[in-house]
Amino acid sequence: MLLSQIYYVTDQMDIAKADISIQNDTIAAIGCLCAAPGEEVIDGTGLLLLPGLCNTHCHVPMTLLRGQSDHLPLDQWLQSQIFPAENHLTKEAVYYGALLGIAEMLSCGVTSFDDMYYFSDAVCQAVVESGICANVAMDGFAFDPALQNRFSISLEELEDFYLRNHDRCPQRLTIDFCIHAEYTTTPERCVALIGLAKKYQARVQLHLAETASEVEGCLLRHQKTPVRYFESLGLFDLPVTAAHCVHLTDEDRSILAKNRVFVSHCPSSNCKLGSGIADLSALRQAGVLVTLGTDGASSNDSLNLLGDLRLSCLLQKALHQDPTVFTAKDALQMATSTGFHAQGRMDSGVIQVGKRADLFALRLTDENMAPANQLLQTAVYAANPKNVAFTMVHGQILYRDGAFLTIDVPTVQQKVTELAQQLF
């Protein structure tokens, strides 16, 4: 495939114009090029090509629970609304919920995501069938007996899940391990999970310092902040992506930076649940690597990472009362190259010869994008999913002009509607 005379975002976050050749799953050449015989040519006129977006924190099957609760803080939201509904989940429901969430993300330019949930074999199946990339972890709950939930999954089950799936689609599907949070696991369980992840040299996903009450509870239980608690258990010896990180001390930030822990910033979810606003300026000044996530479609209630891209910029400017503190370039790098590095996908996240063709294009001719004089700023502050012309993963177009090429979305929507009604 040849993308002809298309504006694109360079690896330095500048704008250039060129022909871009895609061979198999790779960016083969950038420059003044001619189409080879039989090569598909896409006219790049009026398009802006960007690296695919990476959603580093998601519970993709929670499309099933979209819009089901509101006006509750995190602890009440989980225990009175979400956990009781999840007690009735089935593998079929998770599969269709995941497909719907993947479709929504593809329509927003997302080419890879991190996921932690239940019935994760079904999530893996949806990933493989749809053509998207993902790091999937099965949630390893070990609840205090006072918290009733049927998803207390044994270490043997988690290891079996890893072994069943880690070679299933090695270029697109990576299996991680998961520690849900300090307040839903015991120290003994955490140590065992850390040992399991070390055994397979795997990555770990977790929720960390999301709310002030989480930090207060951890201080009462362990006399340590959640960051210091997990460091003391040896978690940060592993590659870790920690979601939220809203309530941190200066020492916490230093620990995260020293251990190269990736933080997944989830601004919409944090705002909706009233958890607070993570200080990205303080994180970056401390040397912490920050990525971008949506969280689930029940706490957001959207998987539109373009929306969170814009919101991340606006919140930082408002928080610091300084319009220069966080730029469009900062936001886009967070949502692309840094996100893919957090997943261990060092071959994605930039438009560069030899990198994976994980890309999406925005239509600059749409009314909300005009006059498109400053293309990078327009992409971050003005773009929405209706402007996405196509989304490509490993050189294959999965979404184009409103059509999903690997997912039967009408059937999936109907199934999700039926299954969600059964859940509630």
Q: Over the stretch 234-275, which tens digit does the pLDDT of each residue have? A: 999 999 999 999 999 999 999 999 999 999 999 999 999 999
Residue 82, pLDDT above cutoff 90: no
Contact between 52 and 392 under an 8 Å Cβ cutoff? The reply is: yes
Q: Is the peptide bond before 301 cis (omega within 30 degrees of 0)?
A: yes
| Helices assigned H by DSSP within 35-154 | 74-76, 83-86, 91-106, 120-130
Domains annotated for the chain, with CATH where assigned, are 2-51+347-404 (2.30.40.10), 53-342 (3.20.20.140)
Tokens of 270: 């944090």
Do residues 278 and 246 make contact, with C-beta atoms less than 8 angstroms apart? yes
Q: How far apart are CA 226 and CA 179, in angstroms?
A: 12
pLDDT at 141: 60
Round to whole Å and give the CA distance between 165 and 174: 8
What is the average pLDDT value for the chain, to the nearest integer?
94
Low-confidence winner among 114-128, 151-165, 196-210, 358-372 (lowest mean pLDDT): 151-165
pLDDT digits (tens, 9 = 90+) for 332-376: 999 999 999 999 999 999 999 999 999 999 999 999 999 989 999
**Residue 146 above 60 pLDDT?**
no
* Residue 119 pLDDT class (50, 70, 90 cuts): very high
pLDDT, residue 151, reads 59
Residue 265's DSSP bridge partners are 292
Kindly tell me if the per-residue pLDDT of 84 is higher than 90: no
CA angle 329, 20, 42 (to 5 degrees): 105
The confidence band for 148, taking pLDDT boundaries of 50, 70 and 90, is: very low
The burial of 159, by beta-carbon neighbours within 10 Å (0-12 exposed, 13-18 middle, 19 or more buried), is given as middle
* Reported pTM: 0.96
What's the confidence (pLDDT) of residue 355? Answer: 98
DSSP per-residue string spanning 303-357: --HHHHHHHHHHHHHHHHT-TTSS-HHHHHHHHTHHHHHHTT-TT-SS--TTSB-
Beta carbons of 114 and 264 less than 8 angstroms apart? yes
For residues 271 and 314, what is the distance between their CA atoms, to the nearest angstrom? Answer: 12
Radius of gyration for the alpha carbons in the chain, expressed in angstroms and rounded: 21
DSSP letters along 233-284, please? HTGGGS-EEEEE--S--HHHHHHHHHTTPEEEE-HHHHHHTT-----HHHHH
Q: Mean pLDDT throughout 205-230?
A: 97
pLDDT of 87 reads 80
CA dihedral sign, ordered 144, 145, 146, 149: positive
Q: Kindly report, residue by residue over 44-67, the tens digit of the pLDDT.
A: 999 999 999 999 999 999 999 998
From CA 294, how far away is CA 326, in angstroms rounded?
19
Q: How far apart are CA 209 and CA 225, in angstroms?
A: 8
pLDDT at site 73: 81
Chain segment 156-200, per-residue pLDDT in tens: 999 999 999 999 999 999 999 999 999 988 899 899 999 999 999
